[in-house]
Every structure is written in C-alpha cells, then in structure tokens.
Amino acid sequence: MNSITMNNNFLLSIIIPVFNEKDNIKPLLQRLIPVVKNYKYELIFVDDGSQDNTANEIKKYVEKNNNIRFISFLRNFGHQMALSCGYSLTKGDCVISIDSDLQDPPEIIPDLIEKWKKGSMVVYAKRQTRNVDNIFKRFSALFFYKVINFLSDTEIPTNVGDFRLLDKSVVEYLNSLPEQSRFLRGLVAWSGHPAEYIFYDREKRFSGKTHYSFSKMVNFALEGIISFSTKPLRLASLLGFIAATLGFLGIIYAVIGKFFFPEALVSGWAAIFVAIMFLGGVQLITIGIIGEYIGKIYIEIQKRPKYIIKEKINI
C-alpha cells in the first residue's frame, strides 16, 4: 500500500450506464454521493440512447456538481458499449462500474476500495443471494454460468455482473483491446489479473423493468461463448462424426439384413424419416455454429465505431 492509497489521495471513478432510468437517477445519487464524498471522485453517466427523460434528469445534477460527468449516445448501442465508453474516458486510479437500478448497493463501495488498497487489481462484487429475482431469472443465470464455463476456455466468475472495481492498469488493458464486440466479464477474467470478492445480497430493482429480455440474455450468452471458446466448433465436428458413424452402422445393418436375414428385414417410412430429420438437424446445427463465428469475423473486419457520442458534459 503506497502513500497515495493510504491517504485516500487517489481518484475514484464510477461508471454508470443508463437506459430509460429517469426514476432511478435521484435515489441512486442520494445513496451514492454520501458513500463517495470522502474520496476524490468522478461519476460518469453514460446514457445509452434513452428514450425517456433520463438525460435531462442527469443534467440537473451535472449543473450542481462538477464531479458528475455526462455522455449520451446517438442511439442505443448496448450495455457493454456504454461501459466501454466510460472506461475509455475515465481518469481514475481505480474504476468502479455499477448499474443505476440500485440492485447493487453503493454502500459496499468502500469494501471494494479496501480490497484494492491491499493489492487486488480486480475486485468483484459477488451476489451471495438473489432472492429478489424470480425463479426464471435465477435459473437462467445459473444455467448461463454453467454453460459458458463448460464451453469457454476462460473461467468466468459465477454470480458476478458488471459491478466491480478495476485498477487503472486493468482499464488501460481493456482500452487497448481491438475487439468490436465486447464481453467485458470475459475480457476482465481472461487478463488473469489478481482478483478478490466482496459478497452482498442483491436488492430489488428500485423502479422500472429490467432491460434484459430473454432474447437479449440468449444473445449475451452467445456473445460470451463465441468470444472465448472454439468448443462449439469442436462440438459441431463431434455431431458430424456421430451422425456419420450412425449412418455407417445403418449401412452395415442394411447389407447384413439384405443378404442373411431378408425375411426379418422390415422397411418403413418411419426409419427413413427419423434418419433424414437427424442428419438434417445435425447439418443445420453445424451450419448455425459456423455461421455464428463467421458473423463474429464479419463484425470485426467492418471496424465500425463501437458507439457514436451525441453529447458530452464536464468531460
């Protein structure tokens, strides 16, 4: 621990991505500012193309507090892009990302900072209970981590979201990565920086509805798997091998039956139908998996901007 961290003489940056969260801005700041006021801090709101009054609500506080920064996108680019934008503009010695819905309590921020002061480059806020989430949400989250860690070559910490603290050097590493599609949970874990955990109980969303629909959750999971593993391609090869083996065994069975047991050989449409459906399914799955990777390559080689900034205030 150096003299800067001992004396709280460091800059704390907090990135807050928002999308249609106008009713959560005031209660968030009412809980967040008392926590961070004892540090040198900056709060960076990244408005991901909100269509309600979120931007104007944030601007009210930007005018009163020079430590609050505001960025807005021209349209919705996604949660991970909003975080990436915040990371690219932050100046902090340590950087915390937190959502605005108050499911992640700001009050544990000092605990994250204490872990960082002791040398941890990454400090995850890990959910020890999720009782406020419905059964589907809890099951899908458990399934997500099981699947992604089974398929991924990089171990993704379970029950952690994007509420975490990163050292400045980790943020610089993230900013240096060339990926257009960014699965930040995986990118942070892939770096291998020393990590610690702070456990907390997940709270109920203060206002509004979650923006992660089932389809978005599926897309998010696919993004993570494809970004960090080639195992699905191996799985496609395995399915092809199994289908080919079964087909070969079927040929042997038909030949033996034709010459040695012609009276017992029963031909019917059901077997043919099942064989066609099985082989067709394997082919479609294989093509789909390959297509996902080709689509990923297509997005990367386009090299379009990750986001388009509409407005900046205090930056």
For 281-296, how does the pLDDT look when each residue is reduced to its tens digit (9 = 90+)?
A: 778 788 888 888 888 8
Q: Are residues 165 and 29 in the same domain?
A: yes
pLDDT in tens, 8-63: 789 999 999 999 999 999 999 999 999 999 899 999 999 999 998 999 999 999 99
Predicted confidence band of residue 114 (pLDDT cuts 50, 70, 90) = very high
Q: What is the pTM of this model?
A: 0.78
What is the number of other CB atoms lying within 10 angstroms of the CB of residue 50?
A: 19
- On whether both 271 and 225 belong to a single domain, the answer is no
First to last CA, the chain: 30
Instruction: Over range 224-243, report the average pLDDT.
Output: 76
Distance from C-alpha of 240 to C-alpha of 73, rounded to nearest angstrom? 44
103 and 201 part of one domain: yes
Do 93 and 188 fall into the same domain?
Answer: yes
One domain, residues 197 and 243? no
Mean residue pLDDT of the chain comes to 83
| Full domain range(s) for residue 147 | 3-229+306-313
Residue 278 — pLDDT band, cuts 50, 70, 90? Answer: confident
Q: Are residues 112 and 248 in the same domain?
A: no
User: Angle, to 10 degrees, between the axis of helix 184-191 and the axis of helix 168-176?
Assistant: 110
pLDDT in tens, 136-164: 667 767 777 777 777 777 777 888 889 99
Reported confidence tier of residue 65, pLDDT bands at 50, 70, 90? very high
pLDDT of residue 123: 97
pLDDT of residue 213: 61
Q: Please tell me the total count of domains within the chain.
A: 2
**CATH number, domain containing residue 75:** 3.90.550.10
Same domain, residue pair 131 and 202: yes
Residues 37 and 133 in one domain: yes
Q: Examine the domain organization and report whether 28 and 156 are in the same domain.
A: yes
pLDDT number for residue 131: 63
